[in-house]
A = this chain, B = another copy of it.
Amino acid sequence: MPAGCVVLLSGGLDSATTAAVAKRDGFRLHALTVVYGQRHAVEVRAAERVAASLGVAEHRVIHLDLSAFGGSALTDAIEVPKDRDEEAMAAEIPVTYVPARNTVFLSLALAYAEARGLRDIFIGANAVDYSGYPDCRPEFIAQFERLANVATKAGVEGERFRIHAPLIHLPKTEIVRLGLSLGVDYGLTHSCYDPDAEGRPCRRCDSCRIRIAAFRELGMEDPALADG
C-alpha cells in the first residue's frame, strides 16, 4: 500500500493542484477541508468535487467558526477589495488575511495525520501571489515542521513529520501549467472571495483576478468562469 498523506483541500485552485502533486508523488490522499465560517460554503462543495475527481482514500470536513474571533474580510462583514492591480495587491497585508489561519489549518492537519499514523502533510501555500500573508512564507512552513516534531507523540518517538508546500515558490501561471499537466479539472475548483448567491465567482476580487490572468497568460479562459 502506498504511504498516505494529509492534504489540506479548500476547493480552490492551489489546493487542487497540491493534491494532484501529492498523488503524482505516490501518496494515498486523506483530504481535510476546514470550514472556517467563511462566507462561501460553495468552497466545500468544490472541495468535495475535487476530492472525488482525485479518488481520495478519505475526505474529512471539519467545521470551525473563526468568525467568532473576527478580524478578517473573509470571516466578517468587511468589504472584499475589488479591481485592484498587482501593485495594490502587493502593497500590504490584505484585509482578506485571516489571523493565524494556516497555523490553525496545519494544526488540524497534524492532529488528523497523527491520529491516522501519517507523517506527510501537504498545503497549497504560495508565497508569490500572497506575499502579504505571513503564514504563506517558506520560513513559516519550516517553523511549523519543527513544531510538529516537538508537539507529537510520533515526533518525540523519533519519527519525522514533513510539511510539503510544493507550490510555495511558483507563480500562478506555473501552478496552472503544473496542474493541467497532472490532469486537474479546474472547472471543479472555486477560488473567489465573494461569489454571488448562486456561487458564481465575482471576477473582480484579488483571487479571481490572479487566476483569470494566469489562465489568460496560457491562452485559456478560466474554466471556472464557464457558465455551467
Contact = CB atoms under 8 A, between A and B. Distances in A.
Interface string A152-166: 110110000000000
Interface residues of A, number: 45
Contacts of A60: 68-69
A108 B69 CA distance: 9
A143 B135 contact: no
B140 A111 contact: no
B147 A134 contact: no
A69 B59 CA distance: 11
Nearest to A64: B64
A90 to B, nearest CB: 15
Interface string A109-134: 01110111000000000000000001
Contacts of A201: none
